[in-house]
């Protein structure tokens, strides 16, 4: 029987207004005023947890052993792009100087990047398209991947292996051998490995039980985009406040590439050498981008130059609505107090697309007030309050507003000026060099 989550609408905690929101969570601060924020550490050269994303010699040999039938299952589950990225993972070059400079602009209270003239972040719809994942549509709330109950990892892995000793090898960086002729089981085992590398890389090199459950649900037709994006947001917040970095750095790099690093070349016969080892080189087709492109940041070299470039990035240099997003429908909060949060097994993560005015195809107006929800709320599965929180979050998605991305947006210069002045309170123009 289909469960009607609207029945739980009365459980939604009422929005008490901006005063209560400010009292519950401190006012937004300038990045340089947030205790422990790496924005204030110009000496930082290597992100904590960065070495987690090094080459994995076991990955490609494992994928080469997959039977065609198992590869077919991965494609059926919407993991074609993830499979391509995993197969070429050891060829990819992560430009950590760019990633570091980008992370330094992450605001942990709003889960977005702060630029001098605008705010921006990875939209759910962008992530799903970039990674080729099944896309969430309003009305499909029951298909969003998460669980209320405690997770029994062995019940998940028992379908794949009959030995409990294989538990660690299936969820860590050790090479696992094919031990069955069950092609669906082989595909599930491969999904755990490639999703652990591309979508849910953790700081300790293992896959958490919560994310293991998310990956397992792919074969059931579940939508996993929210869990992936929420996990990346949490990883960005962790590293911005001095902790280890985790989450899909590939998704972040694809987003950076499409919005401000690359443009389609006027001369289609010119191949961009810079892009050849970027993740974009392997998935650009679906994003209307090829290696016949122009790298706008080719001359920006060194961590200090990249910091300066991003901290002075103008609206004109940031492609707010890349071609692959034209005509796409995105989900926005219905109104103040009905803030959206990303559903996952580890946490409920604040999602504020209404702050990304230009990305959403709307003119800049005012900097929206904080939601009364915490930026990241760790879950306690099996808890009554957690169940109420999850249900109310689902109701918010069920009643969200839909908007279609337009190619162009007209702005009122005076209103935009007021917006930029308000934004200066979050990041001084120029910032720390």
Could you state, in chain order, the average pLDDT of each consecutive group of 10 residues for the chain (433 residues)?
A: 37 50 62 88 78 80 90 95 94 90 93 92 96 93 89 68 49 46 86 92 76 91 96 94 92 93 69 78 81 77 91 91 88 82 94 87 79 87 90 92 83 88 72 46
Q: What pLDDT, on the 0 to 100 scale, is given for residue 6?
A: 39
- Residue 105, domain extent: 40-162+182-346
Enter the tokens of residue 133: 């994942």
Q: Assess if residue 224 is contained within a domain.
A: yes
Q: What pLDDT, on the 0 to 100 scale, is given for residue 2?
A: 36
Q: Assess if residue 141 is contained within a domain.
A: yes
Q: What pLDDT, on the 0 to 100 scale, is given for residue 23?
A: 57
Q: What pLDDT, on the 0 to 100 scale, is given for residue 431?
A: 46
Q: What pLDDT, on the 0 to 100 scale, is given for residue 351?
A: 94
Q: Assess if residue 72 is contained within a domain.
A: yes
Q: Assess if residue 416 is contained within a domain.
A: no
Q: Which residues, including other chains, have CB under 8 Å from residue 119's CB and lie 6 or more apart?
A: 110, 112, 113, 355, 356, 357, 367, 423
Question: How many Å apart are CA 54 and CA 65, to the nearest integer?
Answer: 22
Q: What pLDDT, on the 0 to 100 scale, is given for residue 179?
A: 52
In the chain, how many domains are there? Answer: 1
Q: What pLDDT, on the 0 to 100 scale, is given for residue 293?
A: 72
State if pTM tops 0.85. Answer: yes
Q: Assess if residue 336 is contained within a domain.
A: yes
Q: What pLDDT, on the 0 to 100 scale, is given for residue 5?
A: 34
Question: How many Å apart are CA 307 and CA 309, to the nearest integer?
Answer: 5
How many of the other CB atoms lie within 10 Å of CB of 26?
A: 10
Q: Assess if residue 373 is contained within a domain.
A: no
Q: What pLDDT, on the 0 to 100 scale, is given for residue 72?
A: 96
Listed in order, strand segments (DSSP E) in 119-275 are: 119-120, 262-264
């Amino acid at each position: 029987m289909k469960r009607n989550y609207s029945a739980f609408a009365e459980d939604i905690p009422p929005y008490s207004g901006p005063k209560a929101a400010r009292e519950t969570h401190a006012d937004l601060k300038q990045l340089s005023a947030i205790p422990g924020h790496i924005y204030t550490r110009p000496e930082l050269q290597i992100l904590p947890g960065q070495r987690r994303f090094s080459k994995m010699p076991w990955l490609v040999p494992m994928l080469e052993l997959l039977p065609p039938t198992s590869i077919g299952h991965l494609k059926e589950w919407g993991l074609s792009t993830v499979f391509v990225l995993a197969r070429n993972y050891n060829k990819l070059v992560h430009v950590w100087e760019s990633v570091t400079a980008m992370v330094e602009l992450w605001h942990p209270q709003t889960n977005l990047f702060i630029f001098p003239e605008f705010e921006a972040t990875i939209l759910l719809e962008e992530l799903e398209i970039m990674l080729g994942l099944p896309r969430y549509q309003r009305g499909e709330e029951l298909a969003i991947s998460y669980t209320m109950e405690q997770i029994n990892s062995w019940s998940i892995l028992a379908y794949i292996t009959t030995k409990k000793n294989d538990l660690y090898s299936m969820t860590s960086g050790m090479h696992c051998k094919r031990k069955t002729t069950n092609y669906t089981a082989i595909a599930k085992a491969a999904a755990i490995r490639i999703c652990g590398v591309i979508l849910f890389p953790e700081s300790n090199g293992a896959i958490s039980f919560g994310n293991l459950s998310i990956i397992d649900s792919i074969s059931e037709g579940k939508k996993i985009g929210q869990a992936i994006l929420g996990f990346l947001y949490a990883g960005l917040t962790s590293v911005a406040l001095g902790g280890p970095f985790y989450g899909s750095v590939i998704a972040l790099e694809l987003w950076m590439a499409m919005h401000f690093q690359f443009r389609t070349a006027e001369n289609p016969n010119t191949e961009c050498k810079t892009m050849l080892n970027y993740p974009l080189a392997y998935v650009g087709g679906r994003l209307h981008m090829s290696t016949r492109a122009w790298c706008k940041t080719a001359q920006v070299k060194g961590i200090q130059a990249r910091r300066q470039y991003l901290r002075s990035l103008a609206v004109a240099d940031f492609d707010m609505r890349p071609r692959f997003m034209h005509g796409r429908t995105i989900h926005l909060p219905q109104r103040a107090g009905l803030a959206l949060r990303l559903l996952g097994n580890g946490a409920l993560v604040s999602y504020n697309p209404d702050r990304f005015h230009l990305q959403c195809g709307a003119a800049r107006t005012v900097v929206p007030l904080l939601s009364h929800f915490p930026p990241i709320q760790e879950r306690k599965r099996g808890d009554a309050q957690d169940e109420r929180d999850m249900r109310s979050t689902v109701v918010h998605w069920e009643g969200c507003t839909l908007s279609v991305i337009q190619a162009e947006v007209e702005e009122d210069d005076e209103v935009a000026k007021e917006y930029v002045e308000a934004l200066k309170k979050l990041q001084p123009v120029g910032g720390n060099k």
